[in-house]
Structure 1
Amino acid sequence: MSRREAEVASGLRTALEWKCRFFPSEVNEGQLREWHQMYRVPDDVEFVVPGPDDRADDPPLGTVALNQAILAAGLRLPFPRVVRKFLREWGIAPTQLCPNGWRILIGLLVLWDQLGFPRPSIGDFHSLYSFKSDGKRSGWWYASVTARTGSSVVTQTPDSIKNWKKFWFFVRGPWQFTEDDARPDLSIPVRYHKLRYVAREPTGESIERARRAREISESLRSSVVLITEENLISARLSRPSLRPSYSS
C-alpha cells in the first residue's frame, strides 16, 4: 500500500484526485533566486525547486507550495495572521486560490486599512464575493470578480494570467509564523481540500463599508494601485526590509 493509499484508508487524506496533480513545476533555481529577492523574502525562508514526482497538492513535511503569481498578487512571507485566518476558514492551501482571488483579498485588506475600517471579516468577504471552481475537481478556486452585490470593490484585476499554474515551488523554513506570532491554532492547510464556503447576506455594516469604498474612484481601487510594497507595509501585510522595494 502506498503512502497516499494508507493516508486515505486512515482518514488523514481525501480520496479525491485533483487535476492539479498533473501540472508539474517548470521553475528553475534562477527564477527562485530572483523572486526571493523581488518579494523581500527573509533569508531563513527558502524557495525549493520541486522534483519531477512532487505535486503542489501534497508538499513534503514542513513545506508549503506557492507560485510566483500569488507573490505578485501581494502575499508576503511569513504569512500575515489575517491571511492565515482566511485560508484556515476556507480550508484550502494557498495555491488553491487563483491569483485574482489573491488580488481581491489583498486589495480589500489594503483598501479597508486606507479607509480606517477594521480588518474585513470572513463574513464581510463572503457578503461581497462568491467562489467558483476552476473546473470539476481541479483543486483551484476563484473568488468571483463579479461581486455578489453591486460592482467589485477591488477593480482592474487581470483578464488572464497565462501559465501561472506551472510556476509553483516549495517553501521551507519559518514561512508561516513570525517569532511573536507563533499560533498553531491559526496554521494554514498545506494539502488540497474542498473549499468551505457559505454565502452570507451582507450586514448593515458591510453594506455601508462597501458603499463608502465604492465612492472612491475606480482607478484608486485598482489592484495595481492598491497592491504596492508601500501599501502592504502600511497595512501590516509586509515587513520593512533593507532589501529593495518592488511594486507587485
Structure 2
Amino acid sequence: MSGIPKSVELRAPLGCERADWDIPEWTCFYEYTLRLGFRFPVPELVCRLLKYFDLAPGQLMPNSWRILLSLTVLQETHNIRFGLGCVLHNYYLKEHVGDQGRYILTPRNFAKRLITDTTTNHRFWKDTYFFAKGPPIDGP
C-alpha cells in the first residue's frame, strides 16, 4: 500500500483475533474505511472526535466515517476549517440501536447537515479488518 508512513505498521488479524479485542499497541481499522478514502496518518478531525468521546476507530459506523472524511477532504481541497466544535454543533454522537458499542453521527437538524447523501448500506462492513500501530495512529 502506498502513502503509508514508514512509522506505521499494518498486519492482518491472526487466526482467532477479533476486531473488538483489546490488543496492546494495536488499533483495529475496518477495510471499508479505506474504500471511503481513509489514509494514514489518521486525520486530525477524526482523532479529536475519537479522543473526545474515548472511542476506538472501529466503533464508528460507516456513515460517521463518511461525514468525517468528507469534512477532511473539504478542509484539504478548499481550506475550510471544521473543528470538533463545528461538528458537534451540527451532529451528536448516538449509540447505534442494533449494534451496541458502535456509534453514529446524527444530524441535529436534518435540513442543515454539513454532508448529504451519506446513506449507503454496507451490509458486510465488519467482515474485513486489519490492525495498525505507530505514532501517527494516535494523531496530533
Q: Same fold (TM over 0.5)?
A: yes
Please list, as runs of the form range in 1=range in 2, the aligned pairs for 1:197-236 lying within 5 A after superposition: none
Q: How does 1:2-17 map to 2 (within 5 A)?
A: none
- Structure 2 residue aligned with 1:168: 129
Residue 148 in structure 1 maps to residue 108 in structure 2: yes
Deviations, residues 171-214 of structure 1 (Å, cap 9, x unaligned): 1344426xxxxx7xx5xxxxxxxxxxxxxxxxxxxxxxxxxxxx
Q: Is 2:66 aligned against 1:103? A: yes
Q: Which has the higher contact order (CA 8 A, sep 6+)?
A: 2
Gaps of 5+ in 1: 1-35, 178-182, 187-248
Residue in 2 aligned with 1:80?
Answer: 43
Contact 2:28 2:58 in 1 (8 A): yes
Aligned to 1:93: 56
RMSD of aligned Cα (Å)? 2.5
CA shift at 1:121, angstroms?
2.2
User: Is 1:126 aligned to residue 61 of structure 2?
Assistant: no
Please give the secondary structure, in 2, of the residue aligned with 1:166.
coil
**Cα distance change on mapping 1:106 and 1:53 into 2, 3 Å:** same
Please, which of 33, 38, 49 is the counterpart of residue 70 of structure 1? 33
8 Å CA contact retained: 1:134, 1:141: yes
Cα drift, residue 115 of structure 1: 4.9
Larger Rg: 1
Match of 1:157 among 105, 118, 122: 118
Counterpart-to-counterpart distance in 2, 1:131 and 1:81: 18
TM-score by length of 1: 0.49
Q: Which has the higher strand share?
A: 2
Deviations 1:208-232 (A, max 9, x none): xxxxxxxxxxxxxxxxxxxxxxxxx
- Offset, 1:112: 4.6
Matched residue count: 139
